[in-house]
Structure 1
Amino acid sequence: MAGARHRTERPPTELAPGEVSLDVVFTPAPGQKLDESFGPSTRLEVSASPPELLLDGGGVTTELARRLVLNPAVSEGVLQVVAQAATCDAEAEHAACHLTRQDWGVPIRLTPEGAKRLPLVLRGMDEGA
């Protein structure tokens, strides 16, 4: 195959500087439930590039919602978000279990008119939209 590689770029999401809610949306599939048999069923990791973009809210937790504080002195960057959820069949004697995981690199631009909420869908529908 000859020629230049095809490249897709995600347009920047406009967010407000300061406090922003990050909501990772996850709903187990029908007939499944969150599985905590080997520890917490969910995990959320957040970081930023440049690191100065994120004043608060970085790191790893087990909650899929997080309060972020974005630095107004940094006009743009990328939020790196990794979320996962473990589920198992709800009523099966020998349940099948699943791990749903997604890595996002979300380019953002800080503007005064920007959104105060960043929803990312891991599985399900965003009811907060």
Structure 2
Amino acid sequence: MPVSSPANRLSNRRVLVIDDNADAADTLVAILSLLGHDAVAAHNGADGLRAAERQQPDVVFLDLGMPGMDGFEVARAMRLIAGLETVRIVALTAWRDDATRARARSAGFDRHLTKPTSIEVIEEIIVES
């Protein structure tokens, strides 16, 4: 289903993007907002956890390689927050090796996407959530 279809526009979701690359996070949020989603960005792990508690997102796109609290730590912490135990957490990272994918699964991620990825793939994941 194309990203711009009316069915996708009607299925807006709460989306949180956590990435220390502010330009990448803010660009993805802008695109998702144009597609009708309630999207917000956080640029580090601690802010991401606070935003998740506040927003109660349907899906989180989370970078793995962030300074301080990395994406693995954020995902584990998010799974312990009341109301976020089943939120869909998707790794959005440049790391694509099998060991990283396994580590992400064990940290609580539901999916693993490698950068760059298409907005169509991102939108499919959001609509599924």
Q: TM-score by structure 1 length?
A: 0.26
Structure that is richer in helix per residue: 2
Structure that is richer in strand per residue: 1
Q: Which has the higher contact order (CA 8 A, sep 6+)?
A: 1
Q: TM-score by structure 2 length?
A: 0.26
